[in-house]
Structure 1
Amino acid sequence: MNKEVQTKKYLYSFLITVIIFSTAIYISHYFNQKKLDEIRSIQDKIAIDILSSETQFSLLEESSCKDIGSGTLSSELGNLEDKLTYTTNQRGYNDPEVLTLKRYYALLEIKDYLLMNKISQKCKKTPLSIIYFYSNDGTCEDCEREGYVLTNLRETYPDLRVYSFDYNADLSAVKTLISINKVKNDLPAIFVKDKAYYGFQSIEDVEKAVPELLVLKAQIEASSTTKTATTTKK
């Protein structure tokens, strides 16, 4: 009798263990699948955004200068970069799909950079752009901080284009860009107006390197003061 009870106890314990283990596996699989579905959704959105941007390039090349305002020149690359950063954080820097997306994004950035320079020459507009080189191999301690600085500037000045490239990217176009501008492997590095700046650059440092930003800053502050005064009168 005791032996039978003991056997039942072992059997129940085994069944409970199997149920708990199976439930844990199911829950883990469910959330992993949900995360993968979310990442695939983001990847699809990135692909659509890239196609949209490429179509926009073709339209802008055919447009006259009077049809191209500052709003038209404002970049959607920032939103694309945010989505790519999220996907990278979810899957890791060395994930094959992430690396493919990063290569595609880098080519899109270079294409945008060339188009903006062409439009600037055609329409006699001064391009507001910064080329930023970073590394994810763990040797660049200040790259993450520099990234935050440039993100802040991009959000403050919507017309500012920030092109970010992995210095060690296995992409011939990026290597050519580095070679043409003679950028050394001393990261972080930013390239502004045919001049390279090495090491961490603060917001103030970057604003000094791009004088047009100081003009925009004064305009923004003046506009803010005017709005405040108008609101106070009401």
Structure 2
Amino acid sequence: MVAKRKISKGKYLVAFVISASIFVIGILIGILLTNAKLDSINEIQQMVRTQVLTLETQYSIASQNPCNFVDYPELTEELYKISDNLDNLESQLGKNNKAVLNSVEYYSLLETKHWLFLKDVSKRCGKDLNLILFFYSNDEGKCAECSVQGYVLTNLRKTYPEKNIYVYSFNADINNGVINTLTRLYSVKKLPSIVINDKLYSGFKDRDELEKIISIN
């Protein structure tokens, strides 16, 4: 006859305590990570708000005498910094998050101000600029090549700084009066669409095509 082994209640209690401790620690770590993420998001959002106010103030000052700001890169650098921070928000909250879309919409207004400012600089100060409007959608069902087109344009801008290339990106899915006006003004019917120096180019354009359009040898 096999004797029954007695398992002490103490061992059960120890096992329970260990399991419960692991569970609680897991929850605490999850809370800490969530709080850290929220702190990071709040920090980025505050940074964007500060940068937006800074940029708007700079526009007001620069518009008094635009020709004095022809070779003033800080305006453009500030704009691209905001774009980078919005990219960080998109990666953490998602491109379709309401707060992200609201921020992107407001950023589009800043881009339009910057574009109009440089158009004025080009006209009044005789500055040779390549101003590019890029219309896209985050919905791959509507535009499978939009993401790649954005990378191509960014790479082109960074590769040829001497060509004074400025890229302004507009999410065509956002129902905003300014974006809608721009799409009507340039008869944008297809995505992606690119407007280079007021001329529309519909559909995806690779780097070679863009270099020819901008006359890059």
TM-score, scaled to structure 1: 0.82
Unaligned runs of 5+ in 2: none
Q: Secondary structure at the match of 1:62?
A: coil
Counterparts of 1:152-167 in structure 2 under 5 Å? 152-158=155-161, 159-167=164-172
Rounded to whole Å, the distance in 1 between the matches of 2:204 and 2:66 is 39
Q: Secondary structure at the match of 2:168?
A: strand
Which moved further from structure 2: 52-61 or 114-123?
114-123
Rounded to whole Å, the distance in 2 between the matches of 1:182 and 1:90 is 34
Rounded to whole Å, the distance in 1 between the matches of 2:63 and 2:75 is 15
Change (3 A) 1:74 1:204: farther
- Identical counterparts, % of pairs: 37
Rounded to whole Å, the distance in 2 between the matches of 1:17 and 1:105 is 49
Deviation of 1:156 after TM superposition, in Å, equals 2.0
Alignment equivalent of 1:209, drawn from 204, 213, 216:
213
One-letter identity of the residue aligned with 2:187 = K
Alignment RMSD, CA only?
Answer: 2.1
Once the two structures are superposed, residues 110-150 of structure 1 have per-residue CA deviations (whole angstroms, 9 ceiling, x without a partner) of: 11111111222221223321000111112211111111111
Match of 1:145 in 2: 148
Matched pairs, number: 210
Rounded to whole Å, the distance in 1 between the matches of 2:12 and 2:90 is 46
Counterparts of 1:1-234 in structure 2 under 5 Å? 5-63=7-65, 65=67, 67-72=68-73, 75-76=76-77, 77-139=79-141, 140-158=143-161, 159-184=164-189, 186-211=190-215, 214=216
Which moved further from structure 2: 8-17 or 51-60?
8-17
Rounded to whole Å, the distance in 2 between the matches of 1:183 and 1:42 is 33
Deviation of 1:20 after TM superposition, in Å, equals 0.5
TM-score, scaled to structure 2: 0.88
Unaligned runs of 5+ in 1: 219-234
Structure with bigger helix share is 1
Contact 2:131 2:165 in 1 (8 A): yes
Structure 1 segments of 4 or more deviating over 4 A? Answer: 2-6
Change (3 A) 1:9 1:118: same
Rounded to whole Å, the distance in 2 between the matches of 1:194 and 1:110 is 14
One-letter identity of the residue aligned with 1:70 = D
Once the two structures are superposed, residues 178-225 of structure 1 have per-residue CA deviations (whole angstroms, 9 ceiling, x without a partner) of: 1111111x22111112222122211221122223xx2xxx6xxxxxxx
Once the two structures are superposed, residues 6-48 of structure 1 have per-residue CA deviations (whole angstroms, 9 ceiling, x without a partner) of: 4333322222121101111111111121122112212211111
Contact 1:130 1:191 in 2 (8 A): yes
Rounded to whole Å, the distance in 2 between the matches of 1:177 and 1:73 is 26
Deviation of 1:74 after TM superposition, in Å, equals 6.0
